[in-house]
Amino acid sequence: MDLGFLPTFGGYEWLIIFLIILILFGAKKLPELARGMGEAVREFRKASREEQEKILKEADEDKVTRLAKALNISTEGKSREELVKEIIDLLNKEKEKQ
């Protein structure tokens, strides 16, 4: 993911940002703010990971369906696991013939 349009911060920039936040919110609110930011980042990463897994699973299911159709296996109403089992069975039968 290219985020080249976002500025990058060095050590001094982070120090200045930290001091501004400290002045605006005070030392007592800092742990609460950090906790909230941590939770927000954690939720964002979790949602991002779940969405990525969903996309990969859908792509994988599409590949299995295409392979089953290429092997003339009926795909209608069958789960991914059923299709995988039928593909393996068909390949094993072909292997035994040789």
Torsion of CA 77, 91, 60, 49, to 10 degrees: 120
Percent of the chain at pLDDT > 90 equals 26
Torsion of CA 15, 16, 19, 20, to 10 degrees: -150
Q: 4 or 27, which is more confident?
A: 27
Average pLDDT, the chain: 86
Secondary structure class of 74 (helix, strand, coil): coil
Is residue 67 situated within a structural domain? yes
In which residue are the tokens 């001091």 written? 19
Instruction: With cut-offs at 50, 70 and 90, classify the pLDDT of residue 6.
Output: low
Is residue 22 situated within a structural domain? yes
Tokens for 95?
């292997």
Boundaries of domain holding 74: 11-97
Number of structural domains in the chain = 1
Is residue 3 situated within a structural domain? no
> What pTM was computed for the model?
0.47
Is residue 78 situated within a structural domain? yes
Is residue 93 situated within a structural domain? yes
For 67, phi and psi rounded to 5 degrees?
A: -65, -45
Is residue 52 situated within a structural domain? yes
The alpha carbon dihedral of 86, 88, 93, 94 has a sign of: positive
In tens, the pLDDT along 53-98 reads 888 888 878 888 889 999 999 989 988 889 999 999 998 888 787 7
Is residue 2 situated within a structural domain? no
Is residue 6 situated within a structural domain? no
